[in-house]
Amino acid sequence: MPLSSLKPKMRPHSSLKQEFLKKWIMGLQRCSFSKKNMSILERKKAIKFSADIAMASARNGTTCWSRSLISNASKEGSDIHVVEQILGSESDRPAVENKVPTRRASVCKKIVKRSCRIRRRRRRRKCVASAPSSIAKHLVRKRREVLKSLIPGGEFMNEICLIEETLDYITSLRVQVDVMRSLASASVRASE
Amino acid sequence: MEPNARTAETISNLTASDGYEVTAFESLQFTDEIHRLISAPPTDNASSFTALLELPSPQAVELLYSPESSKLIPASPPNVEDFKGNFHFPSNTCLIERDARLSAEVNNSNENEKSKSPESKKLSTNLEKAVKSEPAETESSQPLVSDPTLDKRSIKRKDGENKVKGSTKKSKTAVNESSEDAQKLPYVHVRARRGQATDSHSLAERARREKINARMKLLQELVPGCNKISGTALVLDEIINHVQSLQRKVEFLSMRVAAVNPGIDVNLDSILTSESGSPMDSNFPSLVMPVTWPEVQGNGHRQQYEHQCHFDALQQPVWGRGEVCHNYITPENSLLTYDSSANSATLHANQLKMEL
């Protein structure tokens, strides 16, 4: 990543929470919450959805997972207004657009790599079990695959990017959990 | 600390200029310093960590010498004015990347200079300067930063590190570097260690591996309980478990929020205007007014709670509110008893009680 990729400033933890909360509530209001006949599952889905989008938009397109999350969400037609609401005036769509060609390119690369790997694997199958280092590599590779499946948009990242994204994703998830928990417990207390 | 740092700096300059001895370099010595610094302010878990992630920036020695310390350390606002504000803090990922770059660069720089420990010590003392946010350091660092030789080095993504050792490198122009490209080319300056292959592929591979290792170390710091584990596979296991547990928590909490409020009436304005560090805890009870208790659908809950078997309440912070909301718990309990995997689910409900 070049030097020019110095991104806007890193927000301290508490203001990240505030921003997430603000965006989340905006999204919640935009969701058709007034409909009392929404089942709890639908509500839960809407809540989680707006929370995810809020979390991703708090990153302003700086991280891969956030862009991928937003682009995935933008595909479904029904929820686009929520996405727009949360993203607001930020033109996140250009970031989304930019992601797509890189994804395609990296997908093509991945396909080529996979085909080479498959050919290599067929040759190597006999001697895999013997060397401990190859076993270790195999284990690590397996876990990397799992991690890729967990992080949104992870399939398109190389190793370095994956670990960075994981770091960022974990902090964002923590913020999300904290805010949601405090909201839930506060609403519970308020109802007493 | 300040005089010690200065003397360390001068010492490192001297040893670099005297001559070089080939010593084995612990490539992660610098990151150990980082970890020491990270463990130094133990109060805030994530914010200080992420703040410290910003520290090891090779990109700008200006960061080291003129950081926006108000963002780094919440407790030291008065030092902000002393520093030039021309540096923009990048996002977390960029900082991590720069941290890894720095560690790689330290590796390379020490290979280049062949004076490893003073170099890393100097960089670490620079870091400590940044942590302590001492404005006086800027004067001593100015000659380094404004070194004219810096302009000639346009190393790809490794400028800051060169700036740090600019003065020392100047004194070593006579050094023959086997694997180094011409100074003015925008290539990666890497020095091969003794007894290692010097072709570009292995060098690039080594740089890449060090980057990955540095990031893995950061991840280990972030995920609790990973410090003692050695071995990439196990650490990755822990990380995966952590991410999965966090995702499950989000699911569960969103279900909880959905159960509580058919219509949460939140006063957005007061949220937006609140500035304090922990506004939410204090504001929420006044802001949130759930309308009714909804009818909880049994099927939906059962499915959700089956997924929460591994709900680790241990990691959850204990909230200050001591009272248990029985109204909220009992519908859940009644549902959970229906659950086929009742053991884990009721355990989960107990954890929920404890948590509240």
The full length of chain A comes to 192
Is there a domain that residue B247 lies in? yes
**pLDDT per residue as tens digits for the range B252-303:** 888 887 776 555 555 444 444 443 444 444 444 444 444 434 433 334 444 4
pLDDT at B245: 93
Q: The CATH number of the domain where B211 resides is what?
A: 4.10.280
C-alpha distance from A80 to closest chain B C-alpha (Å): 20
Is the Cβ of A105 closer than 8 Å to some Cβ of chain B?
no
Q: Which residues of B touch A188 (CB under 8 A)?
A: 260, 325, 328, 356
Is there a domain that residue B257 lies in? yes
Is there a domain that residue B312 lies in? no
Cβ burial of B154 (10 Å; 0-12, 13-18, 19+) is middle
Are residues B103 and B31 in contact, defined by beta-carbon separation less than 8 angstroms? yes
Is there a domain that residue B157 lies in? no
> Which among B243, B262, B319 is the nearest to A170, CB-wise?
B243
**In the block, residue with structure tokens 């990048």:** B90
Is the Cβ of A8 closer than 8 Å to some Cβ of chain B?
yes
- pLDDT bucket at B115, cuts 50 / 70 / 90: very low
**Cβ pair B46:A171 closer than 8 A:** yes
Q: Which residues of A touch B242 (CB under 8 A)?
A: 170
C-alpha distance from A152 to closest chain B C-alpha (Å): 11
Is the Cβ of A3 closer than 8 Å to some Cβ of chain B?
yes
Is there a domain that residue B283 lies in? no
Name residues 13-72 of chain A within 8 A of B (Cβ): 13-14, 17-18, 21-22, 25-26, 28, 33-34, 36, 38-41, 43-44, 46-48, 51, 59, 62-63
- pLDDT bucket at B232, cuts 50 / 70 / 90: confident
Residue B347: what residue type? L
Complex ipTM, two decimals? 0.74
- Name the domain count of chain B: 1
pTM here is: 0.48
Which of A17-26, A33-42, B316-325 is predicted least confidently?
B316-325
Are residues A171 and A68 in contact, defined by beta-carbon separation less than 8 angstroms? no
Is there a domain that residue B285 lies in? no
Query: Which residues contact residue A134 at a Cβ distance below 8 angstroms, ignoring those fewer than 6 apart?
Result: A127, A128
Are residues A28 and A46 in contact, defined by beta-carbon separation less than 8 angstroms? yes
Is there a domain that residue B314 lies in? no
Query: Which residues contact residue B178 at a Cβ distance below 8 angstroms, ignoring those fewer than 6 apart?
Result: B191, B192, B198
| Per-residue buried b or exposed e for B172-201, using 16+ beta carbons within 10 Å of the residue's own CB | beeeeeebbeeeeeeebbbbbbeeeeeeee
Residue of B188, B157, B211 lying closest to B27 (CA atoms): B211
For residue B237, give its domain range: 200-262
Is there a domain that residue B221 lies in? yes
